[in-house]
Structure 1
Amino acid sequence: MFKVKYGDDYLTDYVRFIKVNRGVASESELLLEENSGDGTKVLKSRRKAKEIPMTFHVIDGLDVNVVREKLGSIISTTETKQLIFSDNPNFYYEAILTGTIEYTDDGFNADGGFTLLVPSGYAESVDTKVLNNDNSGGENGTIINNADNSVSVLINNNGTLPIYPTIKITPTAESGFFGIAGQNVLEIGNPDEADEKRKTKQTTIADFKTQSDFDTNFVDATDRTTSWETNISPIPNNSKLKWKT
């Protein structure tokens, strides 16, 4: 049975969907420049918001007045909710109502429709892929232990959009410094401070799982006179972050 979940509620507990138009892809908006010769040059492109029109029939036997009120309370929100279709359960849309909810009834039967807007224009996966030493070299990517004791990680992005990995580091010995170089550079600790004594207390120095956690707890470091040289183009040297205290 085809089911539609919106937020914490199943819309298909109240209605049977006659048509759901998810389309193939979001519309693209292009900024073009005329060439001196044939054709045009694409200066910029962006994905536009996606609309998902849906028409329905209220399930026979249900009170059409109760369903009217229930649909209104579920769909008429001021914030996006996760929209999941049972035929593609590993993906969700962050969606919100646009326009009005059409609802026509004769006291016993009712039909209607509404359109949900996906501001981002795309669906997101609910799956989490894990890359570690056990599956290194497979579909998720490769971990390389370098001769200088550094580790190189190549992550395979099998999706169509940028990804933001969650990195878990488990030290095997005392360490006062961690450095992660990618499109940006993240440093935790002091690379210039010599080890003085072994620490016996375990301390969590960073715990963030979302972009919001990262933005809230990290700021640009401007008070350092030394740096960890990366020499990885296009990352500028002296790029670093520090933990807010």
Structure 2
Amino acid sequence: MNQTPHYQIESATDPQQVSRRVAIFPKKVSARFETPEPEEKLVMSFPHLVIREAICFQVVVIAMALLALFFNAPLEELANPEHTPNPAKAPWYFLGLQELLHFFPPVVAGVVLPALVVIALIVIPYFNINLKREGLWVHNRKKTFVILSSVVFLASLVTGLYQAFDIVIPTLILFGLAILPYFAPREKGWIHWLARRSLAEWIMAWFVFVAGLLTIVGTFFRGPGWSWVWPWIS
């Protein structure tokens, strides 16, 4: 007695439940198998990021408290309206802007440039250059070199016309470090480490370098009339 076999189609995502599968390919179509790319490992902001930020906050507060306990920082004398100090310096966290005011018109240094920096810091995280985090020279090295050189040249030219060498010098230094892997590629070492830095990391490094240098120059190297002075020469 012949028994007709019965077949039942099962669908499941677990290969352990349905171990045998049938694939049907039309004629003149070859089978293609794609290897899934490993996804970037992501973690939640809480607790991984929040806990680290809280620890850093506590460390900074403790360090500031110790500095206040062991180092005296007396206040200056009361303000005298008949005697204006020369130079009248802003708090250290605003000295970068005050240094920019020495080179650029007030509207540019006090409004335009800070607004552009804030907008850039808000927008850049949403660009692919920040999401992919690929090295600067991964794709189309020649095109990247031409665009980067043009941007740096124009920025240095404009700031140089205003004699803002506090911006020109760090810009050229970072540009030299950025293009070093282009002319002298290495498979290991610090040049290879530079080649792995993404464009977003270079932009952030430039921003921190320029802001820090402007603050240092405004704090220690500016004297009466905002002229250049050497801090070790009284």
TM-score of the aligned structures, taking structure 1 as reference length = 0.23
Higher strand share: 1
Higher helix share: 2
Normalising to structure 2: TM-score of the pair? 0.24
